Structure 1
């Protein structure tokens, strides 16, 4: 009974943290949209609440969240502001791949306390030199880079124990790099997903993370590791990507509440209250039921993560479920906007803002609906899709 009470208290503590971040970011939503980044104040609140510490091995002394608490926390922030949810999620989950590095590296990064960004598109050029490598590349869409001290970048490399190149992550200090402010997007404008220039930066071999090794086995290469750590006990990529679905659910729930509120207060030219219109009544019911199906899919996704403890798993199924969740959430935004009519189209209206942000979540490469559904269909017929989650 004590354990149950403690878990409830911990859950509520992190929901309060999420609400504090989300509500503060909501007050600055228009400003962040204009500036293409959250403010330093919001970044500081995320740091004060130690959100970036929540998914870490126990050796660092912070509470380890279970998947459902983590997902609900991301959703709660998303209910108030999707850009803040996007970054709080990233600043937390990016420590997961840091946890696969040797002790001296993970200690340096985590104990230093800075936020970590990443962009693992394998576009970097890596040249071997004495005692290490020289890395160069231009990386777009580096979310939260304005406030990060560390970043992981992607490249393809050939190793002696494999017969073909493989994708790797390379840990770098942001202070050694150039950040170019290029972010001017339809949605998620507050994410500050700018461009990063890596120009002939030297790295040692132990700064190279081989994702193929993580895919083979969720546990790290070193022996003395935290047996209870989330990412050591679930397929890496499904866990790494779950936040996209979580934030979309929070954003779609907000749209539903806004749709109901604005419909109740809307009067047509004819003088009829819109809440008495069969059209809006039907749309609200349809979208409410759709949200029930979305939450069911998200729960199934989490159950799969809790069940898959290592070895083979259905990566294509994870991706299809996640993409479907996000597609359905985006549909809720678009349908609500079109049903509310022109006043909801005005810049800064909550439904306009959240719908743009939901569309942006859906454009992420891990969220693309057509790719997810096609991949799962191919998988069901025995095709090796190589989808990792």
Structure 2
């Protein structure tokens, strides 16, 4: 992807953010991103940023993708979340066998705007079959699934005795799964993170990618997609796709809060809130933590991509640092929004479209994602720093 095309997509996304912000309340009411917002984002080229050039995408520098996600999330947290997780899936499909990619996007990218959802937790039942696998079960929390035509579903493959022997991701078309509308939450209400239901579907071998080769950075898709972005670690790309919208949500809350606080008057103290030194300190702390979170996230992805461009091995220390800073970014941004809520006064807790309250609900809901478990990720980072051997698919 040329620098110019990346700049064009990012500029188009930024121009769209006022409309996305205006629809934030509608997204919560619908419990999914409005269809018009998805269509407008698709028209900017956003969903093709991490898609292979061979199949109509841009194979972009991933920092461009995350910059765009952050802009979207500042306008609407739910839209930013869906944009990030749906937008990163073309990168994963690019790791599959060429035949699987062609089934999704067309042999020459004639279906380049096809979108893919996911639910990676291995909750289904997988049975080996001649030439592939039979898949059944229910998968939860598939954000944006109503807007997608394929699904990536995680599953454990077992042997004849029922012993786990492999962890794979199964690529299944919309015609072969159902969607159960169960998403009704306090935060990230507009993400439409519903359940995917599969009833004894055959998935051929070429659409069942093992996590072993993915973690080892040695996958079939490398034979057809030479762009450096596909040499990055799955864990780094996907966990950053979870934390980046949270940094955007926090930044949007910060901007809205600072703007409102400049004019807000606190009757109980008889002063403008902007003149309260304690309010000033909370704002400063929140702003610093949000900045730190984003700068570290973006630095790590930029460092990984620079090595991939040079064809250099990606050191485990950098992969570990990326995972460490990813969970700390979520932690910092959640704490920052908590500070803003403390500063916002009782009116922020009223039922209604208060931007800081919505951000507060959204970041706490996003914090519950499995990728944002700080103790697990930080323990791994500590083990790497101490020179201990560790095996984990999320590094």
2:23 corresponds to: 28
**Distance change (3 Å), C-alpha of 1:159 and 1:56:** farther
CA deviation profile, 1:73-112 (whole Å, cap 9, x unmatched): 1111111011111111222210112112222220120233
CA deviation profile, 1:207-249 (whole Å, cap 9, x unmatched): 21111111112x43366433324022x2222022222222222
Measured after TM superposition, the shift of residue 310 of structure 1 is: 4.1
The DSSP-based 3-state class of the residue aligned with 2:376 is: helix
**Distance change (3 Å), C-alpha of 1:377 and 1:224:** closer
Measured after TM superposition, the shift of residue 304 of structure 1 is: 3.7
**Unmatched 5+ stretches in structure 2:** none
The whole-number CA distance in structure 2 between the counterparts of 1:148 and 1:128 is: 27
Measured after TM superposition, the shift of residue 60 of structure 1 is: 2.5
Q: Which of residues 371, 382, 391 in structure 2 aligns to 1:386?
A: 391
The whole-number CA distance in structure 2 between the counterparts of 1:107 and 1:128 is: 24
CA deviation profile, 1:123-175 (whole Å, cap 9, x unmatched): 22112334432210111101111111100111112589xx9612101111122
1:123 corresponds to: 123
**Distance change (3 Å), C-alpha of 1:205 and 1:356:** same
Aligned residues: 380
**What TM-score do the two structures reach when normalised by structure 1?**
0.90
Matched, 1:349 2:354: yes
5 Å matches for 1:186-225? 186-217=186-217, 219-221=218-220, 224-225=223-224
2:45 corresponds to: 50
The DSSP-based 3-state class of the residue aligned with 2:127 is: strand
Measured after TM superposition, the shift of residue 203 of structure 1 is: 1.8
2:344 corresponds to: 340
The whole-number CA distance in structure 1 between the counterparts of 2:221 and 2:48 is: 21
Measured after TM superposition, the shift of residue 312 of structure 1 is: 5.2
The whole-number CA distance in structure 1 between the counterparts of 2:220 and 2:8 is: 34
Matched, 1:75 2:78: no
CA deviation profile, 1:256-292 (whole Å, cap 9, x unmatched): 1112112111111143111111111121222222233
The answer to whether the 8 A contact 2:73-2:246 is kept is: yes
The answer to whether the 8 A contact 1:319-1:366 is kept is: no
The whole-number CA distance in structure 1 between the counterparts of 2:149 and 2:221 is: 25
Measured after TM superposition, the shift of residue 43 of structure 1 is: 1.9
Measured after TM superposition, the shift of residue 50 of structure 1 is: 2.7
Q: Which of residues 252, 255, 261 in structure 1 aligns to 2:253?
A: 255
The answer to whether the 8 A contact 1:334-1:355 is kept is: yes
Q: Which of residues 322, 326, 334 in structure 2 aligns to 1:330?
A: 334
The whole-number CA distance in structure 2 between the counterparts of 1:244 and 1:141 is: 13
The whole-number CA distance in structure 2 between the counterparts of 1:32 and 1:222 is: 36
